[in-house]
Amino acid sequence: MKAARIHRYGEPSVIRIDEIDVPVPAPTDDGDGEALVKVAATSFNPTEVAVRRGVFDLALPHTLGWDLAGEVDGEPVIGFVDSGAAAEYAIAPRDRLVPAPKTVPLQHAAAIPVAGLTAWQTVSHVRRGQTVLINGAGGGIGGFAVQLAKHRGAYVIATASPRSTEAVLRYGADEVVDYTTTVPDKPVDVMIHLVGTPPPWPVPARERVISAAAPVRADVPSSHVVMRYDRDQLSALVGLVDAGAVTLDVTGLYPLTAMADVHRRGEAGEFRGKVVLSAQGESQ
């Protein structure tokens, strides 16, 4: 089978498409251990760049990929794995998988786990009636965050570049601030920071700052969210997608063989929304 792997750390060019054996799930007595997933797609997450660069000490060669959409015994599933989703087949603990949404293409559903759970756990601090500033609303996490904040009854002010403004308004943002020309200085209750660098302007939050990216210094309580896998939350996200309360913004579908180019373009900031990579070779 094909797998996108790194044999050393470095630039996107270190990513190789290798032919390796199909993995074999570890046997268990109760049948609830590991599953072999026929992968439909994985997705690109900017934080996975750190894996390729060697921020984490991993055994090499290492198969990339955290987000997973595919089939187990013919049933469509999505989930999160610590590695290995960027391949034609992957091993996943069964408790890391949930039934896939029925209303979107299975490949597109690979956009949900990491970005969706990160947004869910960030927005969980938001209360109905609050005014929330979401900094970085045009990114993969940002699209989920805007929709989930609106679902929780918040008034949402979002920062986005002109290329993302229309999409962010579709997500449900009440106001969009063009961060390339304007400083978001309107007082808000909560600021959610989804950008890889600290904000270059004074934080306008009156109550709390939550960051899922670069740490933020502020005169109010500040917390940093690192995504943790939660099966119930992922199932709830699938339910919101099927109910039409959350839409997926998949802006690119590439073959697995394009992984190195996707990393290069992702680092250059060329993508908006979520990009998925098909293990079946389709692209657009």
Name the amino acid, one letter, at 118: T
2-112+248-278: CATH topology: Quinone Oxidoreductase; Chain A, domain 1 (3.90.180)
Query: Using a CB cutoff of 8 Å and minimum separation of 24, what contacts does 55-61 make?
Result: 58/83, 60/6, 60/7, 60/8, 61/5, 61/6, 61/7, 61/18
268, two tokens: 């250059």
Torsion angle, CA of 141/117/145/201, rounded to 10 degrees? Answer: -60
CATH 3.90.180.10 domain range(s) in the chain: 2-112+248-278
For 96-235, strand residue ranges (E) read 97-99, 131-135, 155-160, 175-178, 188-193, 205-211, 222-224
205, 133 contact by CB (below 8 A)? yes
For 49, list phi and psi in degrees, rounded to 5.
-60, -35
Cα–Cα distance between 189 and 131 in angstroms, integer?
5
What radius of gyration do the chain's Cα atoms show?
A: 19
Q: Kind and range of the H or E element at 78?
A: strand 75-80
256, two tokens: 């697995």
Q: Apex CA 148: angle with CA 144 and CA 151, to 5°?
A: 145
For 257, list phi and psi in degrees, rounded to 5.
-65, -10
Q: Kind and range of the H or E element at 79?
A: strand 75-80
The pLDDT score that the predictor gives to residue 283 is 43
34, 95 contact by CB (below 8 A)? no
The pLDDT score that the predictor gives to residue 26 is 84
The pLDDT score that the predictor gives to residue 280 is 80
Residue 180: HSE in the Cβ half-sphere, 13 Å Cα cutoff: 7
What is the rounded end-to-end Cα distance, in angstroms, of the chain?
22
CATH 3.40.50.720 domain range(s) in the chain: 116-224
Local mean pLDDT, 10-residue blocks, the chain (284 residues): 97 97 81 90 95 93 97 97 97 97 98 98 96 96 97 97 94 96 96 94 96 92 95 98 96 96 94 93 47
Please choose, from the candidates 35, 104, 109, the residue with its C-alpha nearest in 3D space to the C-alpha of residue 74. 35
24, 34 contact by CB (below 8 A)? no
The CATH architecture to which 116-224 belongs is: 3-Layer(aba) Sandwich (3.40)
Q: What is the pTM of this model?
A: 0.94
The pLDDT score that the predictor gives to residue 284 is 38
